[in-house]
Structure 1
C-alpha cells in the first residue's frame, strides 16, 4: 500500500492529531539527556501492572532459597538507595524459573528468576542486573513505550478509517507488525542500552564494581544458543551490549 491510497484530508487529520499530542507530551529527561514522548507516566501504568503482579504472585512458583532471596533484597536495597529511592517502597521477589532473567514493573516491583544465578557469579554482577532494572524506572521506559504504542495505534486507526477494501485489509493484517518493527523495537533496543549505562552509574555509586557488568554479559554470551536476530529483537545482541558497556565504563574511568 502507498500513501496515495489514503485521502489527503485523513492524512492531514492524523498528522494534526499526532502533532498536537507531541507538543503536549514531550519532556526532557535529564538523566537520559534527551526528550521523551510521554502520553502517560509511570504512575498511570501502576494499577494495571500491580494487578498483574498480584496475579503472578498467586500463580507463579516462588523460590524458597533463603540465601538467594536475602542476596537479592540486600543488593536491591543498596541499588535503589544509591538511585535516590526509598528502599522500603520496593519489593523484590525470586521466582523459581530456570530462565536467566529479571524484570521491573511500574509500582517498584522487581522479579528475579532463580535461573539468573547461572550467569550471575557475584554480588557485583547481581548489582549490574538490579541497577539495569532500576534504570528502566528512572528512564520512564515503560511509560515511553506505552506512549509509543498509543501513538502507533492512533496512526493505524486513522489509516484504517481512511481506506477501504483491499488496502484496509492489508493494514489490518500487517499494520501492527509494521508498527512494531518500524517504530517500537528500535526504541526498545535504545531503552536497553540506556538502562545499561545508567545502571552502571548506579552500581558504581552503590559501591559495586562496574566492570562486572561486562563480565555478566560475557557470562550470558557463553550460555550459547542462536537466539533471536538482533534486528527483530527487543534486546541488543550480547556483542553490542558488551562493546558499548566496555566503552562506556572506560569513558567514565570506572574499574
Structure 2
C-alpha cells in the first residue's frame, strides 16, 4: 500500500496490464490494476488512445448531461396557511411541473443554470420531531431536481436554486413563502467535499438501460487484460455506492483464477 504514490500511467505489455507508473517516475509491477478515476482519466490518460479501439474511445468520450438534485431546508415561523397543505404535512409531498415547464427546467440545467418550477419533494421533519424546529415553527426538507451539476457553484447559482425552490414550494403550499425565515441550500459540491468524493458521484441518474449499457462497455471492453474500471461512469444510478468497486473486484478475482487454471 503506497498512499502517497499517485499513479499517472498504466503499464501495458502484450495487451495486458503490467502495473502502474507513479508520479515520481517509479513503477509498481502488478498483473491486475483497478482504476477508480473518471473514464477519461482511466483510459485516455492512463492507458492512452493508441492502445484503445476507436469505438471504445467513443464510449469513453461520450458526455452525459450533468444534472443533479439540490437539498434545501427551509425554516418557517409557523404552519403554512393553506388547509390542504396543513392536512398533509405528515406525508411526503411531491410537485411535478407540466411537460413544457419540465423541458424548460432540463434545458436550463443542461446550459449550467436553474429553471423554475422544478420537480420538488417535500417532507416536514418537525411533524415527527418537535425538537427539529422552534416552538410553533416548522422545518421542511426539500429535494429539488433538475439543477446543473457544477464542480464549484458560484453564489449566484446558489441564490438561483434557492429562488427556484421558493417559487416551486409556493405551488405546493400557497402562501407559505411569507412564512420562510431562513433557507439552507446544499448542492452536490457541498455533499462531496467532506466525503472526499468527486462531485460527479452525485449526478442525477440517467435512464437505467443506457447507463447499464455504458457501464458494461467501460468495465469490460477496453481490450487490456487485467485492467478493471470502477469509476463514476461504472456506477448505475445516482449517489455514492460501493457496487462498482465490488463488481471490479469480483471481475479481477475471476480473471486471476482463470489465469491460474490456464
Interval of TM-score (by shorter of Structure 1 and Structure 2): under 0.3
Pick the structure with more strand per residue: 2
TM-score, with structure 1 as normaliser? 0.26
User: Counting helix residues as a fraction of each chain, which structure ranks higher?
Assistant: 1
User: Which structure has more RCO (C-alpha within 8 Å, separation ≥ 6)?
Assistant: 2
